Amino acid sequence: MISSGEKAPDFTLPDHNGQLVSLSDFAGRRLLIAFYPLDFSPVCHDQLTAYKAISPQLEEADVTLVGISVDSAFAHKAFREHAAIENTLLADFEPKGAVAKSYGAYLDDWGHANRSLVLVDGDGSVEWVHESDTPVDIPPPGLILDAIAA
């Protein structure tokens, strides 16, 4: 897993609408990347809907939350609509998991990302990271709030 203080690896990925989104688009803002395994799994649904509850605190702290998984932009669009998720979802689809791998969040044996959080500061440096013990362990919203307040 990437470490605090390192430069965040650059990326450009399609979002749920097929629009390209790059790390540089968030320059000057803090970015919270939530790597998660797959759209439509019950645990991923629970994780991303739980983070919806802390949206006001994230906004207040000038933190933008994006989710990244190996699913396609089309799957992300359907998942967002199904789960009423408002944050951007990025497709680390092809080459499969390349961005997750660059951050150290990819699980080769599983074929998808672990549940990992990376907070990037406005200058593009990693401010904080959290890696779950397993893909079924959801990092709680309070953990995020503690990290952005620190």
101 has catalytic annotation: no
pLDDT tens for each residue of 88-127 = 999 999 999 999 999 999 999 999 999 999 999 999 999 9
CB 57 within 8 A of CB 142: no
Q: Alpha-carbon distance 94 to 91, whole Å?
A: 8
Q: Tell me the average pLDDT of the chain.
A: 96
Local structure of residue 138 (DSSP, 8 states):
P
Give this prediction's pTM.
0.96
| Selected catalytic residue, list 44, 65, 99, 129 | 44
Enumerate the domain spans of the chain: 12-149
Q: Alpha-carbon distance 75 to 112, whole Å?
A: 15
Homologous superfamily in CATH for domain 12-149: Glutaredoxin (3.40.30.10)
Residue 60: pLDDT band (50, 70, 90) is very high
Q: Describe the strand order of the beta sheet including 116-120 as a list of residue ranges.
A: 88-91, 63-69, 30-35, 116-120, 126-131
The pLDDT of residue 44 is above 90? no
Helices 141-149 and 42-52: crossing angle in degrees, nearest 10, is 40
Residue 36: pLDDT band (50, 70, 90) is very high
